[in-house]
Amino acid sequence: MRIQDKVVLITGASQGIGAACAGEFARAGAKLSLTARSEERLQQVAERLRRVAPAGALVTAGDLTSDADRRQIVEQTVERFGGIDILINNAGAGLYLPSWNAPLEEVRWLMELNFFAALALTQLAVAQMRARRGGLIVNVGSVAGKVPLPWMTIYSASKYGLGALTEGMRMELRRDGIHTMMVCPGYVKTAFHENARGGAIPESVAHARRFAITAEQCATAIRRGVERDARTVVTPRAAWFLVVAMRLFPGLVEARLAAVNHTA
Ligand SMILES: NC(=O)c1ccc[n+]([C@@H]2O[C@H](COP(=O)([O-])OP(=O)(O)OC[C@H]3O[C@@H](n4cnc5c(N)ncnc54)[C@H](OP(=O)(O)O)[C@@H]3O)[C@@H](O)[C@H]2O)c1
């Protein structure tokens, strides 16, 4: 899809990958609607965009675990721009607690943000995309949504769910001219690990940060994926190795992952 003049709603745009996407899509000529909980950080992102997008971006602060906030964000975007062409469901959080004893209220919170918020926003956006006969839903998942990572099983489950939703919905909406794209980043240098809802990343895994990409590199991969109508973007591409290895040699990969010391 050509990005120039398209209305792009980005969630989790106050920092990390979402903020980098705001810059990337602004430079590609998009009209931006940005959301996250922190109004202050969103305004800082919007201010930085002014050089490339003098018209500025619409900023709507809100908590995506709230149904009322989700509705308000979509309504404000449609009111300002007349519709939504591209929805980037990027907001998300991690949880480094064992699935077998993680408090269920924490699990429900994570699912509300990582899965239900994306579904709810998509339902709201698709309602008007169908009337306009076109649109794109971009869901930011994770490599952990292709290979279950035992130090964040619940998080993996939320991203597996998002992946299945993305693929099924692509087939459901094909006749309406609406496309969906799944993004599966590996390790990205953001505050994601510090912002996790509970627990901490195991030290041995944190060492993998030397292979990490920047949020800007991730945003560029997303923008390129949108431009070439990709179905799945795995970034960095080397992460495909793990995904394919899990398909071909599941026993071997499971044994290696199980051997990681999961206590931080
Ligand atoms: N970093 C990685 O290594 C990595 C790897 C794979 C996938 N991902 C995925 O990439 C996406 C972005 O992650 P990131 O690395 O950029 O993390 P991040 O720096 O922690 O950013 C998360 C964003 O989500 C927003 N957010 C969190 N809770 C929210 C809520 N309840 N309501 C509304 N917004 C909320 C945060 O803004 P506020 O705090 O202002 O609300 C922030 O803008 C996530 O879906 C994550 O799962 C990240």
pLDDT 10s digits, 113-170: 999 999 999 999 999 999 989 999 999 999 999 999 999 999 999 999 999 999 999 9
- What is the structure's pLDDT at 53? 80
Which pLDDT belongs to residue 263?
Answer: 63
Q: Is 42 in the pocket of ligand 1 (CB under 6 A)?
A: no
| HEC string for 109-128 | HHHHHHHHHHHHHHHHHHHH
Rg (CA), the chain: 18
- Note whether 33 and 26 are within 8 A (CB): no
3-state helix, strand, coil in the chain (%, to 5): 55, 15, 30
Does ligand 1 lie within 6 Å of residue 155's CB atom?
A: no
Domain limits, the chain = 7-258
Q: Yes or no: is domain 7-258 CATH 3.40.50.720?
A: yes
Convert the pLDDT of each residue in 34-88 to its tens digit: 999 999 999 999 999 988 887 789 999 999 999 999 999 999 999 999 999 999 9
Kindly give the distance from the C-alpha atom of residue 47 to the centroid of ligand 1, in angstroms, as a whole number: 20
Instruction: Provide the annotated active-site residues.
Output: 155
User: What's the gap in Å between 191 CA and the centre of ligand 1?
Assistant: 8
Q: Residue 16 C-alpha to ligand 1 middle, in angstroms?
A: 7
Query: Which residue's alpha carbon is at the smallest distance from atom 46 of ligand 1?
Result: 92
Q: Quick one: which atom of ligand 1 is closest to the CA of 140?
A: 45
Q: How high is the pLDDT of residue 158?
A: 98
Tell me phi and psi for residue 132, to 5 degrees.
-95, 0
Q: Is the CB of 185 under 6 A from ligand 1?
A: yes
90, 108, 155, 233: residue to mutate for ligand 1 pocket, most atoms within 8 A of CB: 90
Q: What is the mean pLDDT of the chain?
A: 95
Q: Is 60 exceeded by the pLDDT of residue 30?
A: yes
How much of the chain, in percent, has pLDDT values that exceed 90? 91
